[in-house]
Amino acid sequence: MRRILDRYIFREIAWTWLGVTMVLLLILLTNQFARVLGDVAKGRLPKEAAMDVIALSGAQYLTILVPIGLFLSVMIALGRLYRDSEMPAMMACRVGPSGIYRPLMWLLIPLAMGVGWLALDLAPRTFQIIDRVGAEARREADLGSIEPGRFTEVGPNNAVVYGERILSDGSMENVFLQRRIGDGRVEVVVAERGEQVASDDPDVRFLVLQDGRRYEGVPGTSQFRVVEFAEHGIPYRLPGLDPPDPTPRAMTFSRLIQAGELEHVAELQWRIGIPLATIILGILAVPLSKTQPRAGRYGRLAIGLLVFIIYLNMLSAAKVWVEQGSLSPLLGLWWVHGAVLSIALGILAVQNSVHKRLFR
């Protein structure tokens, strides 16, 4: 009988977790899909990389969705068993907390290991890939991101380019360009035609303008130089592919351990804390799911969501305090995990009258 009950409880929790996680993931990916389409429409992201970015974003979302999905699924599944009087019947057959936690651990331990791999290894690599895709898009966009009839910033020097019409070969007609060239001087170029030309250096390109004028000087003064030209090439350097200093969230686990700054310590504790929080939320969900027979199926979900929000916000606040130096790295984020685990064990002890047996 115990084996049958274990399989039954495990099946209820596992299928509920799968449904809850997929629904939450679908909601977040739909929102991300709209953002990615906006970036593609503005030329910030190539169309070929859109689905890759969405898939990589899904891997990042799972680091948070797996813990909350497990927490909600345990509360929903066990809440239904309490509502339908199945759990009281199991307890009448001497099924205690161990009879609930044993099948739960079959799901909890693999999920904690999986989300640990996501947080420590896969998620940082997805951040690196997304940053690289964005850098490649910025390098390739350039004049391709210019919309006819609109002013657009191009290049690392934030030159403003305007083209009245964009031809099929990518060249522009009736071009206006303005950029700052140092010492308060401004260069303004007006040309009938312009196009982008590659150079021998892969990191440098030329904006070649034809049949126009160049005005160079300091705004507010009469000291301007006017040059008429048949062809004028303006070089500009493309942004680099690799950022010089990756953010802590994009750093590998080994690099975080070697770095000794507070923001790296906070990021390291945050990543380690995700699988730990998964286990703690699984333990906490069991006593929180206890309801009276014939009570509402989702009566305790509001309390559960409130507890999860407080838990997540306290972890985020502790992470910021460690980064700012207001909290000792030794205490770090561990006190939040310890407090929530103590509350979970305290509620479980009260529900099972452990305190009464101790005092007796």
d(CA 28, CA 169): 38
d(CA 276, CA 256): 19
Both tokens assigned to 314: 């306290």
Side chain identity at 300, as an amino acid letter?
R
Both tokens assigned to 59: 């891997």
| Residues 75-93: tens digit of each pLDDT | 888 888 877 777 777 777 7
Please give the C-alpha separations between residue 131 and each of 38, 108, 230, 247, in angstroms, as whole numbers: 17, 32, 40, 10
Share of the chain above pLDDT 70, in %: 83
Band the pLDDT of 186: cuts 50, 70, 90.
confident
| Residues 202-256: tens digit of each pLDDT | 667 777 888 999 888 888 787 788 888 888 887 776 666 565 567 788 888 888 8
Query: What is the dihedral angle through the alpha carbons of 223, 228, 233, 236, rounded to the nearest 10 degrees?
Result: 20
